[in-house]
Amino acid sequence: MELHQQYPVRLRINGQDREFNVESWVTLLDLLRERADLTGTKKGCDHGQCGACTVLVDGKRINSCMTLAVMQNGREVTTVEGLADGENLAPIQQAFIDCDAFQCGYCTPGQLCSAVGLMNEGQAKTLHDVRELMSGNLCRCGAYPQITQAVAGVMGITEPGADGKSAFTTGPVLA
């Protein structure tokens, strides 16, 4: 085997079967943006610290910058381009518009995919849970209250949680 050899990668991306030949070190993020021409998914930090690259793999949200494309061979990938049904926006997309849940919009594709993953997981019951479980997506414009409102709105969540305290209290992570 040679260092610069290419590896075949088959993915079902947003419902379409695609085939690629990539070097071992190509991340899923770089494959999506550079090889699949799906630039909706954003490269923020490229180090798993900001969440801008969040996509769904087999329905689970992951950081596409922190996995190799060759490791995802055979998987089903959903990016922000795949959330809408034709011209009909997904409920979470409409909610982001309705709640004004972005300013510059750079983090939004990752926020949207993360929100869909959060809903698939079914763990969030309160507004506190939504904030905690969206914490893997940074928004440097600071649209967090509106993002929380959008996600909670789609999920029908109204309970504040965290013992009813305000959004900014600290506290122990209790078992």
Which residues of the chain form contacts with another protein (CB under 8 A)? Answer: 1-5, 7, 23-25, 27, 46-48, 51, 54, 60-63, 66-68, 70-71, 73, 114, 117-118, 121, 123, 131-133, 135-137, 170, 172-175
Crossing angle of helices 91-99/108-121, nearest 10°?
A: 130
Residue 87 CB, nearest distance to another protein (Å)? Answer: 29
Q: Can you spell out the DSSP letters for 58-76? A: TTEEEEGGGSBGGGGTT-E
Q: State which residue, 97 or 167, has the beta carbon closest to another protein.
A: 167
Residue 158 CB, nearest distance to another protein (Å)? Answer: 21
Secondary structure of residue 80 in the 3-state scheme = helix
Q: State which residue, 4 or 86, has the beta carbon closest to another protein.
A: 4
CA 8, 14, 19 angle in degrees (round to 5)?
15
Tell me the β-bridge partners of 63: 54
Q: State which residue, 7 or 84, has the beta carbon closest to another protein.
A: 7
